[in-house]
């Protein structure tokens, strides 16, 4: 009988079954300790490329500890109290202000997150955005100083047999370093019925529960992947998301539209072939800040504010945190000439955006007509959501930047909503460029004749005090 090969995301539950294995692994492999790194008394012959690579990035790798409460299901010993579950993972610092990328499954559904740096400093963290389909999330801490950034490499020139290093919170043993080679490229693997990955790097470096979200490095200490999964029951078979693929998702997760309520109107493409890495302007939305700044197709963006730009994630990071209306200096190369442009960030106006500006910007969302036509498919069949308008007392608790929303009362298993992490109790506040306050607003979007051109359909939800977004892959009607 054919059996499906099963893989496992680096689930902290596995740690409880392998504590002794972890102890032996830690003793054999060792953990990074800043007190021992590049000791001035160490002979030069011992400071190998591996030692230098680890020293180069250890301060940009963080350990993540999580807590969540689960209902007590053991009827014999039930005390009607929730049971606390501890989890673990790893993260990579991508911005000195405290933005960290990790796997979505590390932070999904947790009640609290704590991040520990290599020097022992500890901070509470919050989730700011995520993409459950690609299993990536951005979390944020508020450090009291600028943080060191991970050294970014590229996955465009990886070689079979190439040496790699992994750093992670293996079984809770913080900053554990393991070494191996690239075993295969472009692996498509399935973890379970709800999570599958494409184009992964296969490695034989020891990867354990707690390594999720940690960096996969080359011998130069550049991150080339994000560790994500292991082959259940196997030895030395682990997988990582190629960093070039991850950076495209990170750019979306750091988008200033979502995080700052601003927009720029730039569309650009990452070009990465080995050491050649640059961000090239594809087009700008008419009347957008990028267009008004004078950006042209073919321009190579080199710097935004103080951020040196290699890809779209850098561009978004350079604009992140600036206020609407603020002018930001952008350096581009046009042919052989370097130009300094002023990009004036625009603030989204969700209440009074005209149809013309909405088509030009393709970013902000406003209220669709309340008397829209009946939809040919319900939100349940198309999206997998049952929704109801917020009650008056619930609307008063919604973030004041929104005028209301639709409360999620049920999520259909294996639906687009379920696969993207939406859950009961979330408040849907927007689809594509429109706010969702009434059932008619929902009907307007899913009955829209151009719905397929919106695919994947962007959604915006409130979960407690957090505003999150993602993308729903909807089928043709």
CATH superfamily of 262-347: PDZ domain (2.30.42.10)
CA distance 211 to 14: 12
Q: Would you state the pLDDT for residue 286?
A: 82
CATH 2.40.10.120 domain extents, the chain: 1-253
Q: Output Rg (C-alpha) for the chain, integer angstroms.
A: 23
Per residue of the chain (477 residues), give pLDDT as tens.
333 344 555 544 444 444 333 333 333 333 434 434 566 677 788 888 899 999 999 999 999 999 887 655 554 444 556 677 888 999 999 999 999 999 999 998 888 899 999 999 999 999 998 888 899 999 999 999 999 999 999 999 999 999 999 999 888 888 899 999 999 999 998 877 677 889 999 999 888 888 899 999 999 999 999 999 777 667 789 999 999 999 999 999 999 988 888 889 899 999 999 999 999 999 888 888 999 999 999 999 999 999 999 999 999 999 999 998 999 999 999 999 999 999 999 987 532 333 233 333 333 344 444 443 333 358 888 899 999 988 877 877 776 667 788 999 999 988 899 888 899 999 998 888 788 888 888 888 888 776 776 778 888 888 887 788 888 887 754
- CB-CB contact of 231 with 204 (8 Å): no
CATH class assigned to 1-253: mainly beta
**365-472 has which CATH code?**
2.30.42.10
CATH 2.30.42.10 domain extents, the chain: 262-347, 365-472
Q: Would you state the pLDDT for residue 377?
A: 54
* Positions marked active-site: 105, 135, 212
Stated pTM of the model: 0.68
């Amino acid at each position: 009988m054919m059996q499906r090969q099963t893989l496992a995301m680096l689930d902290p539950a596995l740690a409880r079954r392998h504590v002794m294995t972890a102890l032996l692994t830690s003793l054999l492999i060792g953990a990074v300790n800043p007190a021992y790194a590049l000791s001035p008394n160490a002979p030069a012959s011992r400071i190998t490329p591996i030692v230098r690579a680890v020293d180069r990035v250890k301060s940009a790798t963080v350990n993540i500890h999580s807590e969540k409460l689960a209902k007590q299901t053991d009827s014999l010993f039930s005390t009607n109290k929730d049971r606390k579950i501890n989890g673990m993972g790893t993260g990579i610092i991508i911005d000195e202000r405290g933005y960290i990328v990790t796997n979505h499954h590390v932070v999904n559904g947790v009640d609290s997150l704590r991040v520990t740096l290599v020097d022992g400093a500890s901070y509470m963290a919050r989730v700011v955005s995520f993409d459950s389909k690609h299993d990536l999330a951005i979390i944020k801490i508020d450090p009291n100083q600028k943080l060191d950034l991970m050294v970014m490499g590229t996955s465009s020139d990886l070689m079979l047999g190439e040496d790699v290093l992994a750093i992670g919170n293996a079984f809770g043993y913080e900053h554990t370093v393991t070494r191996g080679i690239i075993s295969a490229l472009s692996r498509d693997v399935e973890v379970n019925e709800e999570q599958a990955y494409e184009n992964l790097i296969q490695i034989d470096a020891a990867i354990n529960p707690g390594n999720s979200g940690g960096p996969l490095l080359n011998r130069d200490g550049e991150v080339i992947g994000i560790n994500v999964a292991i082959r259940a029951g196997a030895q030395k078979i682990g997988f990582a998301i190629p960093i070039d693929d991850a950076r495209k998702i990170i750019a979306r997760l750091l988008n200033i539209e979502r995080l700052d309520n601003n927009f720029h109107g730039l569309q650009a493409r990452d070009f990465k072939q080995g050491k050649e890495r640059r961000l090239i302007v594809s087009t700008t939305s008419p009347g957008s800040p990028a267009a008004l700044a004078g950006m042209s197709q073919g321009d190579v963006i080199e710097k935004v504010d103080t951020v040196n730009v290699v890809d779209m994630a850098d561009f978004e990071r350079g604009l992140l945190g600036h206020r609407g209306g603020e002018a930001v200096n952008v350096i581009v190369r046009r042919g052989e000439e370097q130009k300094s442009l002023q990009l004036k960030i625009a603030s989204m106006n969700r209440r009074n955006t005209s149809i013309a500006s909405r088509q030009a910007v393709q970013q902000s969302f406003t209220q669709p007509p309340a008397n829209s036509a009946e939809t040919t498919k319900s939100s349940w069949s198309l999206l997998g959501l049952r929704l109801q308008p917020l009650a008056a007392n619930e609307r008063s608790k919604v973030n004041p930047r929104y005028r209301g929303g639709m409360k999620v009362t049920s999520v259909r298993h294996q639906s687009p909503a379920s696969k993207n992490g939406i859950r009961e109790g979330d408040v849907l506040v927007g689809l594509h460029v429109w706010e969702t306050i009434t059932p008619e607003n929902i009907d307007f979007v899913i009955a829209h004749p151009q719905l397929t051109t919106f695919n994947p359909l962007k959604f915006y939800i409130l979960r407690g005090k957090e505003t999150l977004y993602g993308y729903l892959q909807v089928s043709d009607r």
